[in-house]
Structure 1
């Protein structure tokens, strides 16, 4: 079925593939709640269908309000799969659809159970900020949930990609300092080192105590 739908999209008949793919995603999502998918094979196939559905929607441009309602319901009321990527659906949603996502997410945020739908609401808010293209807004939303090094890394990467290197370095430093024992800190530390090296700020990697002010091992002594 996936191959047939991919062919329809490629041939310019995405409007025929859209309802087939949506029905398939719904059915497999429900079935996965009762199946053992420890291998992850079915889940991977489901995500591929979801990605193809996003591509078909971008070509066929279905009703954005209907699409929005389905996406938000899947994310907030579903089992956690497939992954809803608003960036993939943004071409199909357009300004009208994105505005509707904003409205529905704000509505969900007012009544969301923090132990169930709370994560989904936060994820959608972060994605909305990302697709808005407003870097400051995206950073502000990410900064609302600084529970681990991963979140600091995301902020640092966003700022670095926007050419705001000094701010990115500052956030990376904060993240390393706030999460010294986290298994996720190594990647953040690597990012910090790469940014400092690119900025030719290698001298700040060490300080008088022989330890790094950013949690980075001191540079080797090459004078011996």
Structure 2
């Protein structure tokens, strides 16, 4: 059995796919045993065709037309067929022998038929199998050199009409359409003669255009059409290698295609054609790319193409020019340019662009924080720590958040200027809190808490107000030094929770009660807590999960 075992299946598929494949064993049907291959159908989301190859040098392998299998993976459907084959291990030698005999008998019978009988047989097959008919029609058109007939056939293969309901190919019909459309690749690849490869180039491009034209009218959730687009791209590239089209004409088509929506379908990369384009074609490619970009400097596809071509040619100045033509107002593009210049070994210009990003920003509160971080890092590395502090101060002044406060503190510590900077920063936060009240007091309280200045934070919260989360932090940090004040906070935070239900609420309540108990202990009033907890139990006794949590914590 060529070494097929459950262990080998698990190695091929991985533990997860193997376990899932076990559940599909009953879905295997129509097993056909050949000399080296075993085919079957497996019913999954839909019916899939599965084939195991047992006679290869590298050991067992397989193919499945499910989406996961089409990516080259040994899927759960292949596992299911493999398990079915293992279960029929004793029958395999006989079944293979029978398959060889059938093949031998078929060859002998076909060889015995006259030309007329063979022709009649082919005509019968054409009458009942349209796929056979189409393949033979393509061969016939190719043999005649009938380009018009081949083109007509391609249009027929890529026509969604027979599969579309109300002008749209729904998910249930998408696979059938894809199976038909996929034959277009075989049609193009059949044009292999030296006098036909130029036609193959033309027809591949037409097929790509036709397929791109129907994508929006097909539910391609499983990615069938993307796979066909990729196959058409491969056929086009191979045809170009054989036909060696005019480099300038090829460059023009590549640029046009890359900037078209069809590029997402095929994934064609102009740089993959560099060996075919040569110096003349690459020059034309760059020239046309520049023309397209100059006509639409803000177009994503145009910019991306220009950047790739410039990087491939190590033309950093062109890369910079492309970025500079569409600068983001928040300084992000300046940062991208600075990094490109640093990579190119031009640090002075990189620093200039980073600084320009700060200068050009209309509002420092909206500037890309990564640009500020980058520039401060460069200032520090260049021993310009005072400039780093200045930038951090300006950024904090514009944004006034806990993060910008921390960053200013870290920078100021390097210059031993934090006491002065802190005084100015806190003054700014106090002024904002005085003007706008509760909502603008949060940064002030957060900053004081982050400085571990609990007394000042408590004073600010009392004077300007604070959010409950800040009050809780203040209470947690003050249970020992000011237990009475902390106790008042806990009792206030508990009150609204008593009217709510849910395990999260009960856990919060329990945590607050534990903190209250500690405060009473610090105040030497444990009996007061016992009285409070007993009263709370009486009013909350229907909340069994809360009672359980309180019991677990001895409350």
Give the TM interval when normalised to the shorter protein.
Answer: 0.5 to 0.7
Partner residue, 1:34 = 217
Deviation at 1:145, TM superposition (A): 2.0
C-alpha change, 1:125 and 1:218, in structure 2 (3 Å) is same
* TM-score, normalisation: structure 1: 0.59
Q: Which residue of 2 aligns with 1:135?
A: 316
Task: Give the Cα–Cα distance (whole angstroms) in 2 for the partners of residues 126 and 108 of structure 1.
Answer: 13
Shift of the 81–208 alpha-carbon distance from structure 1 to 2, 3 Å rule, reads closer
Residue 170 (structure 1) shift: 1.7
Residue 157 (structure 1) aligns with: 339
> 2:259 & 2:288 partners in 1: Cα distance?
10
State how 1:1-224 maps to structure 2 within 5 Å. 29-35=212-218, 42=223, 49=230, 63=245, 64-78=247-261, 81=264, 85-87=269-271, 89-90=273-274, 92-105=276-289, 108=292, 112=295, 114=296, 119-148=300-329, 149-179=331-361, 180=364, 182=366, 185-207=368-390, 210-211=393-394, 217-220=407-410, 221-222=412-413
Asked if 2 retains the 8 angstrom alpha-carbon contact of 1:211 and 1:218, the reply is no
Q: Post-superposition shift, 1:139? A: 1.7
Matched residue SS, 1:146: coil
**Once the two structures are superposed, what CA deviation does each residue of 1:104-149 show, in whole Å capped at 9, x if it has no partner?**
3355468x5x59x955444434443333322223323322222343
Q: How many pairs does the alignment contain?
A: 200
Q: Which moved more, 1:28-37 or 1:164-173?
A: 28-37
Give distance in 1, aligned partners of 2:276 and 2:382: 40
Aligned residues of 2:293 and 2:306 also touching (Cα < 8 A): no
User: Which protein, 1 or 2, shows the higher relative CO under an 8 Å CA cutoff with sep ≥ 6?
Assistant: 1
Assess if the C-alpha contact under 8 Å between 1:159 and 1:165 holds in 2.
Answer: yes
Q: 1:29–1:81: 8 Å Cα contact kept in structure 2?
A: no
Q: Measure, in 1, the Cα distance between the counterparts of 2:215 and 2:309.
A: 27
RMSD: 4.8
Give me the whole-angstrom Cα distance separating, in 1, the residues matched to 2:263 and 2:317.
28
The unaligned stretches of length 5 or more in structure 2 are 1-69, 73-196, 399-403, 419-555
Q: Which has the higher strand share?
A: 2
Task: State the 1:166 CA deviation.
Answer: 1.9
What SS does structure 1 have at the residue aligned with 2:393? Answer: coil
Distance 1:78 1:197, change over 3 A: same
- The structure that has the greater radius of gyration is 2
Against the structure 1 CA distance between its residues 118 and 140, is the aligned structure 2 distance closer, same or farther, given a 3 Å change threshold?
closer
3-state secondary structure, aligned to 1:142: helix
Q: Which runs of 5+ in 1 are unaligned?
A: 4-15
Deviation of 1:195 after TM superposition, in Å, equals 3.8
Asked whether the equivalents of residues 365 and 395 of structure 2 are also in contact (C-alpha less than 8 Å), the reply is no
* In structure 2, C-alpha distance between the alignment counterparts of 1:192 and 1:209, rounded to whole Å: 10
